[in-house]
Amino acid sequence: MPVQPLPLSDIRVLDLSEDVAGPFCTKLLAGLGAEVIKIETPGTGDPSRRTGPFIAETPGAEQSALFLYLNTGKKGITLDRRQPTGAAILQRLAQDCDILVESAPPGDMDRLGLGYAALEPLNPQLIYTAITPFGQTGPYRDYQGSELVAQAIGGMMHVIGLPDREPLKIGGHAATYTTGMSAFSATMLALHVRDAQGHGQYVDVSAMETMAVGQIHASIQHQFGHVPKRRHSTLVRAQDGWVHPGLDRGIAEDTWARVCDLMGQPELADDPRFNTRDARRENQAELTAIIGAWTAAHPKEEIYHTLQGLRTVAGYVATIEDLRSSAQLNERDFFQTIAHPSTGEGVYPGTLFTLQDTPWQHGRAPLLGEHNTEIYGERLGYCRAAREQLYGAGII
């Protein structure tokens, strides 16, 4: 069977974004075959290059695990768009691309002559995706944002944590990765519209709105008199971690009886505190203590597989080591080994979804300015002397 071209193999993307959301969006575009040109500040590069953890605990522009992950499959050039000559070069690049992704504060790109209003006449088919904490309009548009701010002001933290304690932030970059997925989806939709109608458009992505959509059930419930509250966790300790036994949900009564037999306490099946779903929920603290005494004597994966075998909604808290060794993820080839000239081989998380007949492209992240000669020399026609002059002026 002949190899099919990747679905975005004819698409060219300019990636001016920084932080997590924008680079994650363009990483997904690159994975589907787009040529993504990552544009970084000369000398220093994307700030994520200076963000740990670093490979072998050695800080360096090519050592950041975050940068290496977010920029797989991209080409890399350096360009100072804040200099007039740099802005003019970027305008040239934008005339020959399909998508531009940026994460500058609202108004910044317009002041440089690089906003959508300036680029659209040069390339009417351009899809211009702007990712900001609050969007391009509204009273918050000029406020600063962060991962914590997005989780908090988007409503996510309101339902995370214990009811009698302060709200908690989800670890890592949950909000910004989700915003990146939102930007990817919106950009792909705009690309579909362009194919159907023949014109590009401006795409405005807000981290706050992305998080608010994730909590939209809470706002809908609020209209009908229900105020969402934080609840006590139903996690219990196992020998080697934490498990969710899934017994506070609507399991069948015969299943509850089999679980009681499994725990060596068959009499609990008829105990009025636990013999119905409502009773188990009403007496959740007592039930959790009883189950916890049993789970403490068993490994978490054994508990998970045993209870899932009884058709309960059980789960366990996976560590990074658990994910790396997961039979489910490895069976589906989720992890990919990618070599990099600075850091050697590394194992990278895979894709969000699979397409039956379309493989993903798993290339490495670029070195800082690695493709300057290709883009400026071969594509834009700058001779070596001209490139050296641009380099000397700090433009590339």
Kindly list the distances between the CA atom of residue 250 and the CA atoms of 146, 275, 277, in Å, as whole numbers in the listed order: 38, 11, 6
3-state secondary structure of 238: strand
Q: Which two tokens stand for residue 221?
A: 């419930």
Do 61 and 118 sit in the same domain of this protein?
Answer: yes
Cβ neighbours for 287, distance < 8 A, ≥ 6 positions apart: 247, 248, 273, 274, 280
User: Do residues 113 and 242 both lie within one domain?
Assistant: no
The radius of gyration of the chain from alpha carbons, rounded to an integer in Å, stands at 26
CA–CA distances in Å: residue 180 to residues 149, 193, 207: 16, 20, 9
Among 75-84, 127-136, 156-165, 172-181, whose mean pLDDT is lowest?
156-165
Residues 292 and 202 in one domain: no
- Among residues 132, 134, 137, 140, the alpha carbon closest in space to that of 105 is found at 132
Token representation of residue 86: 């740099």
Residues in CB range of 3: below 8 A, 6 or more apart? none
The domain total for the chain is 2
Chain segment 308-320, per-residue pLDDT in tens: 999 899 999 999 9
What SS3 class is residue 314? coil
**Torsion of the alpha carbons at 207, 211, 213 and 217, rounded to the nearest 10:** -170
Nearest CA among 234, 242, 239, 232 for reference residue 287? 234
**Does residue 6 fall inside a structural domain?**
no
Average model confidence (pLDDT) across the chain: 93
Distance CA(225)–CA(222), nearest Å, equals 5
Q: Residue 228's pLDDT band (boundaries 50, 70, 90)?
A: low
Residue 345 lies in a domain: yes
Pairing relationship of beta strands 236-238 and 241-244 according to DSSP bridges: antiparallel
Q: Which amino acid is at 271?
A: D
Q: Are residues 251 and 372 in the same domain?
A: no
Pairing verdict, β 99-102 and 12-15: parallel
What CATH number did the domain enclosing 153 receive? 3.40.50.10540
**Residues 194, 309: one domain?**
no
> Do 350 and 282 share a structural domain?
no
pLDDT per position as a tens digit, 348-388: 998 989 988 888 999 999 999 999 999 999 999 999 999 99
Amino acid sitting at position 217: H
Residue 264 lies in domain = 236-316
Question: With bands split at pLDDT 50, 70 and 90, how would you rate the model's confidence at 284?
Answer: confident
Residue 286 lies in a domain: yes
Say yes or no: 130 and 242 in one domain: no
- pTM over cut 0.95: no
**Is residue 357 domain-shared with residue 267, that is, in the same domain?**
no
- pLDDT over 80 (residue 85): yes
| 283 and 146 assigned to the same domain | no
Longest dimension (CA), the chain: 87
pLDDT for 253 equals: 79
Vertex 68 angle, CA 62 and 73, to 5°: 115
Integer Cα distance of 343 and 59 in angstroms: 12
Of residues 58 and 295, which shows the higher confidence score? 295
